[in-house]
Copies of this chain bind each other. A is one copy, B any other.
């Protein structure tokens, strides 16, 4: 077994997005126990100029599907960004999991030198090799938004610990 572009990307997204589904389930149970509307959690922010939970989950989803699609040289699927409930968010995560599982390892492996073009809103597109994109863009960006989502749930009172983050058996 040798590490590959697929084994260095897809299984990481799958593990962490599956863990995120578990955190959202715990968030709902917590809201039910405390008798508040679980959907209130979607608007929590760590700071007034940081994005709320709903956006953190959307961007984590985008980071995962964008990485897998770009490395495979195909267009990532567009999702609507219209999630309004915890159920909608879970559905978004499930659709992301289904997508990343649908892209074959063979189409991702060997993408180390594939040119990846990242469109930017406020500057020219960034062009990176597949390997540099995975190392220094896709993975840090994905974990940034996943960890921020975790921090928001944690700060919102949901009982989560490191074992929930790593989701190791």
Interface residues of A (CB under 8 A from B): 1-5, 7-8, 11-12, 15-16, 46-47, 50, 112-113, 126, 129, 131, 134-137, 139-141, 143-144, 147-148, 150-151, 154-155, 162, 165-168
Contact = CB atoms under 8 A, between A and B. Distances in A.
A11 B136 contact: yes
Contacts of A11: 135-136
A167 B4 CA distance: 25
A62 to B, nearest CB: 13
A144 B143 CA distance: 7
A147 B56 CA distance: 13
A113 B7 CA distance: 13
